[in-house]
Amino acid sequence: MIKLLLIFVIIYFCFKVVKSTVKSLGFNVAKSSQVNTGHGNIENVMIQDPVCNVYFAKEDGVCNMIGGKELCFCSEKCRDKYLAAH
Ligand SMILES: [Zn+2]
Domain residue ranges of the chain, discontinuous segments joined by +: 1-40, 45-86
Give residue 28's pLDDT.
59
CA 43 to ligand 1 center in whole angstroms? 18
What pLDDT digit, counting tens, does each position of 62-85 carry?
999 998 999 999 999 999 999 999
62, burial (CB in 10 Å: exposed 0-12, middle 13-18, buried 19+):
middle
What pLDDT digit, counting tens, does each position of 23-40 carry?
887 655 555 544 444 454
CA 28 to ligand 1 center in whole angstroms? 30
Whether 75 contacts 81, CB under 8 Å: no
Question: Of 11 and 27, which is predicted with more confidence?
Answer: 11
User: Is residue 20's pLDDT more than 80?
Assistant: yes
CA 50 to ligand 1 center in whole angstroms? 7
Q: Which residues surround the ion ligand 1 when the cut-off is CB under 5 Å?
A: 49, 51-52, 54, 74, 78
Predicted TM-score (pTM) of the model is 0.48
